[in-house]
Amino acid sequence: MKALVVQQFGAPETLVIEERPTPVPSADEVLIDVHAAGVNFPDLMVIDGTYQILPPLPFIPGKECAGVVKAVGSCVTSVKPGDRVMMQIEYGAFAQQVVANQINCHAVPDAMSFPEAVAMGLSYMTAHFALVDRAQLKPGETVLVTGAAGGVGLAAVQIAKALGAIVLAAVDSPEKAAVAKANGADHVIDTTVADLRNALREEVFAVTAKRGADVILDQVGGGVFDACLRAIAWCGRMVVIGFASGRVPEIKAGYILVKNIAVIGLQISDYRDRQPDRFRAMRQELLDLYSAGKIKPHVMATYALKDAALALNAVKHGKVIGKVVLTTA
């Protein structure tokens, strides 16, 4: 089988395509023929060696894929050869074939394409866990989402809307603003304004009767995070999801005390490994929202495995609206 391989940590261009032996599933594992693999911002950090969990070199990156079951181990009961499944794994998805434990495989509905299945994977699960498990979002609350047209961001806009929230979307271009609105955002905030620190709070206060945002999902960090923190409501919850801007922000503890706020972390792969049953249940909740027509992943483009650097660079430069997907079949 063909696979993208990290031989040395570096930019997306350093990935090489290699011929690798087909992996053999152990007793609890499932082997699939991969049709689509999702590209996520954390893949960039895995490939350049700055991510928190790194396998030994050389390795195949990629955290999610969807395809058809080819073979199963002797103890596998949940799927059988020929089933359409999606998988969530730590690495290895950027290949024509992958094995994963059966607990990490989930059926793909007949009506859902493989690119859609992976586009509704890590991004939607991150957004859902952030809103429901971490922020304990209640209907009618106001949610501010940063990076709102990207993978996690657009998922968060759709899910928050589906759960009855008022959604404020922070983005850096008119094109992204239009997409956020089309996907359910009630109000859009431009993060490119000169005085974001004051402007963001003024705008959030203007549309929340000076209350502020009850829940903030931040994936950008840096100055966007700093500005968002000033726009949070009393007893608000800020979920720290990522630092796409490159700067990890710092918070003065007094600020948390004075406004009775909670600053909450989220690391989605911990749920996959520590609470696989909750992880599976949440994936089903997302599929139910999809079947009900309340959420729909947006696949901006698909790329062949050999063009993975183009897809990864689109993510690196913040150009992706929704998701980019690698296809391998």
Ligand X SMILES: NC(=O)c1ccc[n+]([C@@H]2O[C@H](COP(=O)([O-])OP(=O)(O)OC[C@H]3O[C@@H](n4cnc5c(N)ncnc54)[C@H](OP(=O)(O)O)[C@@H]3O)[C@@H](O)[C@H]2O)c1
* Residues found near ligand X in the complex (CB under 6 A): 40-42, 122-123, 126, 147, 149-153, 171-172, 176, 191, 219-220, 241-246, 266-268, 315, 318, 320
Six-digit token string for 167: 């959604």
Q: How far is the CB of 222 from ligand X (least distance, A)?
A: 7
Beta-bridged to residue 170, according to DSSP, are 146, 189
Task: Report the DSSP beta bridge partners of residue 167.
Answer: 143
Residue (31 or 227) nearer to ligand X, CB: 227
Identify whether the C-beta of residue 81 lies closer than 8 Å to the C-beta of residue 69: yes
Record the tokens describing residue 45, joined without a space: 């950090």
Of 92 and 153, which CB lies nearer to ligand X in the complex structure?
153
When the beta carbons of 276 and 318 are compared against ligand X, the nearer one is: 318
- Shortest reach from residue 293's CB to ligand X, in Å: 23
d(CA 308, CA 5): 11
Output the six-digit token pair for 303: 């790329």
Q: Rounded CA gap, 249 and 145, in Å?
A: 17
Residue with tokens 């903030």: 216
Could you tell me the smallest distance in angstroms from the CB atom of residue 244 to ligand X?
A: 3
* Residue number, 78 or 173, with CB nearest to ligand X: 173
Contact 187, 169 (CB under 8 A): yes
Report whether 239 contacts 215 (CB < 8 A).
yes
| Least Å from the CB of residue 307 to ligand X | 17
CB 31 within 8 A of CB 85: no
Nearer to ligand X, 142 or 219 (CB): 219
Q: Report, in Å, the least distance between residue 316 CB and ligand X.
A: 6
> Closest separation between CB of residue 62 and ligand X, Å?
13
Residue nearer to ligand X on the CB measure, 114 or 243: 243
Question: Residue 7 CB, nearest distance to ligand X (Å)?
Answer: 23
CA distances from 78 to 23, 74, 116, 243, 262 (A): 20, 12, 22, 37, 39
CB of 63 to ligand X, least distance (A): 8
DSSP state of 73: -
10-45: burial string, b at 16+ Cβ within 10 Å, e else = eebeebeeeebeebebeebbbbbbbbbbbbbbbbbb
Question: Of 6 and 312, which CB lies nearer to ligand X in the complex structure?
Answer: 312
Kindly list the distances between the CA atom of residue 291 and the CA atoms of 49, 64, 139, in Å, as whole numbers in the listed order: 38, 21, 21
Residue whose CB is less far from ligand X, 162 or 324: 324
